Chain A
């Protein structure tokens, strides 16, 4: 789901957002500021360095034994009475869904919040099958009514102000234009409660899937996921193959770290641990649970020795919240499901390198994302990796290609690096940088940095005081 744009239009869409919809920047900056403060507090009350080491190592262990854990997970799911499907592509996943819909003649779907279903285009597919589909997460419901994709992994509607919501709800539900958020939420609750009670298909993603018990773990605050996975008679969970964790005990660590990184909560107000369909003696719960394991480019990423670490991602959104680039525009400008730094290092594998240009360049490489990532994905390194690949493939503009290859060459030759530093120190920076053929365009909207009198290498040689 790209909202009618593509990554290739990133620069134009970002510029358009800033020029035509300045309220988006205000709303996104305010919401992400809030998340950043909360994450900082939540990390400060735990040994966050040790937790993050543990999470990195557990996910790396999982990924380096993924074949074994996938087989174990399938066996556990089957033992629990869950039906398991394997989808190599988005089309395969949607075909599996079609099969379930036809088998049970399903008519009404309710969906708990899930980014993978956005990636696969589940809503449009269901509508094509004649199935009524309703997003149940309040933010997802708002963007669904507006015909927009989510702007953020965790907060789909953070680009909307209260006034935007008041207008939308006034048009849809007849609430007053100055209705307070409680009134608006009550209106949405009433509509969605009917949807929950009448749905025959509940759809979810999965935050984690424990291989040893076959447990599907889902985190949320509203209850939309608990209801979507409890009330309808069929539950279908779409699970990226990288979402596995070895043991149910590991879920205990990952749930807490993910919510601390994401919203700063010690835990989501609702966590579902699902082991399959309703059992004998239970009075409610779905008659059938299906898990659709989705590859859709993930094995391609795993095969990339330099870039596979992006698969550790737990979709907390911390790298979006902290990114000075994402915060200017929100997620729509990126033109596909996953915006921000994590999206820029997933896109080349999931969409293809050419299709994801110029997203790996939509970053200042400031490194803030790596500082907050709960699973320690070296995001700036991976952005550089994809930039190099793009240059090799002739996909980046000439200036970027010349700059990057020159930097690489200089960095490999100390003498050349030193000489280049000296040369740059003497260039006419204060004239606005226009003398520099490569940086001229870039500097038109920026002030050039003033070089220090001595290079770091010179200071080092002289003995830093």
Chain B
């Protein structure tokens, strides 16, 4: 064992690397095959990307609400949140998208509301940044996530490349509600994370 910190013994590392080099000595090498190419229809418009994102997320058990602009999103949220007693909010949630509800800690709030950094069309994934706060993304049983249509990337690879220069401590890709088939092979929702995931797509570009 060795920790590769200043002054620590690096013997384990050197012995492992030594064995790797010995194993590979004289072995022919293979070049990286290049970019992973996946789903990319020709002339992918924002509309096509959002359609795909919505279809994939719904197929995985998520819910989709598509609204023309932030004002409509606010109206929707105020209506939707009436059924809840409190909410845990993402740190980067803009003022207009905050509900008229008491704020509660994520471990007791029945509703979590986050702002996604973006989304992925091909996999139907929301990109959730640790800077928005992880607990509100994971602990409440219902999770509402706002995302702007302009931030929907076509592929997972596109999304990764766009974020590479600005990575937080963690990114969570949420592509549906928490689910498990570990009990008798029967699918249940809401095992540890939210059992309801609602993605609200704001179609107009942000003001």
Given A85-B1, A270-B175; 10 other pairs, CB 8 A cutoff: A71-B17, A84-B3, A93-B1, A96-B1, A222-B179, A248-B164, A267-B173, A270-B178, A278-B130, A299-B23
- Our pick among B16, B19, B173 for the contact of A271 (Cβ within 8 Å) is B173
Q: Which residues of A contact B133 (CB under 8 A)?
A: 282-284
Cβ-defined contact, B3 with A85, below 8 A: yes
Q: For chain B residues 1-39, which have a beta carbon within 8 Å of chain A? A: 1-5, 10, 12-13, 15-17, 19-24, 27-33, 35-38
Q: For chain B residues 156-207, which have a beta carbon within 8 Å of chain A? A: 156-157, 159-161, 164, 167-186, 188, 190-194
> B99 an interface residue at 8 Å Cβ cutoff?
no
Main secondary structure of the interface of A (DSSP, over half): helix
Chain A residues close to B by CB (< 8 Å): 27, 30-31, 34, 46, 50-51, 53-54, 57-58, 60-61, 64-67, 70-71, 74, 78, 83-88, 92-93, 95-96, 99, 136-139, 142, 155-158, 160-166, 181-182, 184-186, 188-189, 192-193, 196-197, 213, 215, 221-224, 226-227, 229-231, 241, 246, 248-253, 255-256, 265-279, 281-285, 293, 295, 299-300, 302-303, 305, 308
Q: Which residues of B contact A226 (CB under 8 A)?
A: 134, 137-138, 172, 193
> B107 an interface residue at 8 Å Cβ cutoff?
yes
Given known pairs A226-B193, A265-B60, the reply for A285 and B30 (CB within 8 Å) is no
Cβ-defined contact, A223 with B125, below 8 A: no
Given known pairs A51-B38, A66-B24, A248-B164, the reply for A57 and B30 (CB within 8 Å) is yes
Cβ-defined contact, B32 with A88, below 8 A: no
Cβ-defined contact, A182 with B167, below 8 A: no
Q: Which residues of B contact A275 (CB under 8 A)?
A: 167-171
Q: Which residues of B contact A193 (CB under 8 A)?
A: 107, 192
Cβ-defined contact, A155 with B182, below 8 A: yes
- Of all chain A residues, which has the CB nearest B135? A284
Cβ-defined contact, B172 with A271, below 8 A: yes
The docked-state distance in angstroms from the alpha carbon of A449 to that of B14 is 55
> B142 an interface residue at 8 Å Cβ cutoff?
no
> B110 an interface residue at 8 Å Cβ cutoff?
no
Instruction: Count B-side interface residues using an 8 Å CB cutoff.
Output: 77
- Our pick among B12, B178, B191 for the contact of A86 (Cβ within 8 Å) is B12
Cβ-defined contact, B169 with A157, below 8 A: no
> B149 an interface residue at 8 Å Cβ cutoff?
no
- Which residue among A156, A213, A270, A293 has the maximum number of chain B CB atoms within 10 Å of its CB? A270
The docked-state distance in angstroms from the alpha carbon of A276 to that of B169 is 5
Given known pairs A66-B20, A189-B192, A215-B167, the reply for A271 and B125 (CB within 8 Å) is yes
Cβ-defined contact, A278 with B169, below 8 A: yes
Q: Which residues of A contact B32 (CB under 8 A)?
A: 57-58, 61, 246
